[in-house]
A = this chain, B = another copy of it.
């Protein structure tokens, strides 16, 4: 099934069930009003939402209305956890190669993850406000999952059972603030502002056989100012699957329902597939020509991130955001 959260002026928005073709929505009132509520009590509430989803897809739901992605908040407008991996090692290899350093061998066996802020997540069509374009504004197209309760110490295979929903993420990054953050030794902080998510979150069964072993085997399409810049395959080159990422978090603590776990920038060894973040393009330019030439984003720039199934149907709806100045 497909779920979304509509803006209603409240902090957590209003839960709706969305039809498979993303044309129609239906309030989940009477079942649940907020997505976190569903994640807290999944086994009881999700079958009821699934029934409504079936009825909606059959065109038999009485109070369906047009689904408008720009009316969406993030499926979870605020979450108790946002832990983001860097599971496409090609991305790490490019970054390292551009600065003439090696990828440590352990990076191929031990996932790289950072803890992100999750108190203020952006809707799919929300403007992305930044106080300065000197910060090196960049998008990052990613896959993300929302978890069930997953116990401390689980194996990666067990952790796969803890995946409730899948969505897309735009992990906004401020590249020129990264060096100062990382030099302090405690990881990203100011360089990772609010992240945006796709209009709908879907259960893994919506992906059909594109969902295999905790990976999504479909290309992620990225356009920058209307120009297609990326169509990287999200499946084969994801070094660590989502079960491995969740188990990595769970090594020393519990992972609680509603945790969002990200894949990191989708990245392919085949440069002709394009890029899911500008930083990667700049790395390639540095490797090829000695210096980057593609600038980061300017005010007014837009980015669009979408994934289509083998039938051509948009699965999650599109993230479509514009960079704007932060209001003083």
Contacts and interface: CB of A to CB of B under 8 A. Distances in A.
A203 interface: no
Interface in A73-116: 78-81, 83, 86, 104, 106-107, 110, 112-116
Contact of A113 (B129, B186, B253, B255): B186
Interface in A159-188: 174, 177, 180, 182-188
Contacts of A252: 130-131, 135, 174, 177, 190-191, 193
B328 A153 contact: yes
Interface residues of A, number: 55
A11 interface: yes
Interface string A117-130: 11110000000011
A164 to B, nearest CB: 14
Nearest to A84: B186
Given A153-B131, A182-B185, A328-B153, A80 B190 contact: no
Contacts of A254: 119-120, 194
A267 interface: no
Interface residues of A: mostly helix, strand, loop or mixed?
loop
Interface of A: 11, 40, 78-81, 83, 86, 104, 106-107, 110, 112-120, 129-131, 135, 152-153, 174, 177, 180, 182-191, 193-194, 248-249, 251-259, 326, 328
28 contacts: A11-B40, A11-B256, A11-B257, A79-B80, A80-B80, A80-B118, A81-B117, A83-B117, A86-B186, A104-B183, A107-B184, A110-B180, A110-B184, A112-B186, A115-B115, A115-B116, A115-B117, A117-B253, A119-B258, A131-B153, A135-B252, A177-B252, A182-B185, A186-B187, A187-B187, A189-B248, A190-B252, A194-B254
